[in-house]
Homo-oligomer: A and B are copies of this chain.
Amino acid sequence: MKTPNPARRSEQSRQAILSAAFDLVVESGYAKLTVEAIAARAGVGKQTIYRWWPSKGAVFVDAVLAVTGDEKGHLALPDTGDLGADLRVVLRAIVDEYNDPRLDTMSRAMTIEALNDPGINTEITERIMGPHLEATRDRLRSAQRAGQVAEDADLDVAVELLYGPIYHRWMLRTAPLTHEYADTVAEFALRALRAT
């Protein structure tokens, strides 16, 4: 069967598979994640995995989304009116996340998967990164209206100006990610974006 009937799908098995996949990555790293291990841990036949997911990476992405992604509510950045303060809060939070070994492991695994498979790449960027980037763009647009950001500033690039440096340092491990660093990046971005 190319198309099994989703109505008959076992929700229990689905969740067991996703949480098994997630736990295995956290415990042993993504390199050691195998379909057979997921099936064994979840108490599930391998075929049940192959029936519903096209690849190991897809299972993993869904697992991450199931844990982190209650993306129903449109997320938004804080908007106190002080753009600098708001950005510092957000960048510091991101730095903290990347410093959490669990999230670090997950993020590197996702990045690898995104690099390997363009399909998963779009999946990740759209469903995980996308909303966050969009929320940031919204906050910048608000600042633009308030006259804190130049009228003609390209907000897509502005977002990358905020997250790019942090991403860069995280990926390459060229230096530790500290709150001070987050503040410096925020400061630079503010200078680059401010009107006039």
Residues on A lying within 8 angstroms of B by beta carbon are 31, 108, 111-112, 114-116, 118, 121-122, 125, 129, 133, 154, 156-158, 160-161, 163-169, 171-175, 181, 184-185, 188-189, 191-193
The residues of B that contact A108 with a CB separation of less than 8 Å are 115
The residues of B that contact A125 with a CB separation of less than 8 Å are 172-174
Q: How far is the CA of A167 from the CA of B122 in the complex (A)?
A: 16
The residues of B that contact A169 with a CB separation of less than 8 Å are 160, 164
Number of copies of chain A assembled together: 2
- Chain B nearest CB from A77 CB (Å) reads 18
Asked whether B174 lies within 8 Å of A133 as measured between CB atoms, the reply is yes
Question: Which 3 A-B residue pairings sit nearest by Cβ, starting from the closest?
Answer: A164-B164, A164-B165, A160-B165
* Contact for A172 among B114, B165, B193, CB less than 8 A: B114
Asked whether B158 lies within 8 Å of A188 as measured between CB atoms, the reply is yes
The residues of B that contact A129 with a CB separation of less than 8 Å are 172, 174
Asked whether B184 lies within 8 Å of A157 as measured between CB atoms, the reply is yes
> Can you add 18 more A-B contacts, CB < 8 Å, to A133-B174, A161-B164, A191-B193?
A112-B115, A122-B173, A125-B172, A125-B173, A157-B184, A157-B185, A157-B188, A158-B188, A160-B174, A161-B161, A163-B164, A164-B164, A164-B169, A167-B167, A167-B168, A188-B193, A191-B191, A192-B192
- Chain B nearest CB from A116 CB (Å) reads 6
The residues of B that contact A157 with a CB separation of less than 8 Å are 165, 181, 184-185, 188
Q: How far is the CA of A144 from the CA of B112 in the complex (A)?
A: 37
- Chain B nearest CB from A170 CB (Å) reads 10
Asked whether B174 lies within 8 Å of A164 as measured between CB atoms, the reply is no
* Contact for A188 among B31, B161, B174, B185, CB less than 8 A: B161
Q: How far is the CA of A112 from the CA of B116 in the complex (A)?
A: 8
Q: How far is the CA of A170 from the CA of B181 in the complex (A)?
A: 23
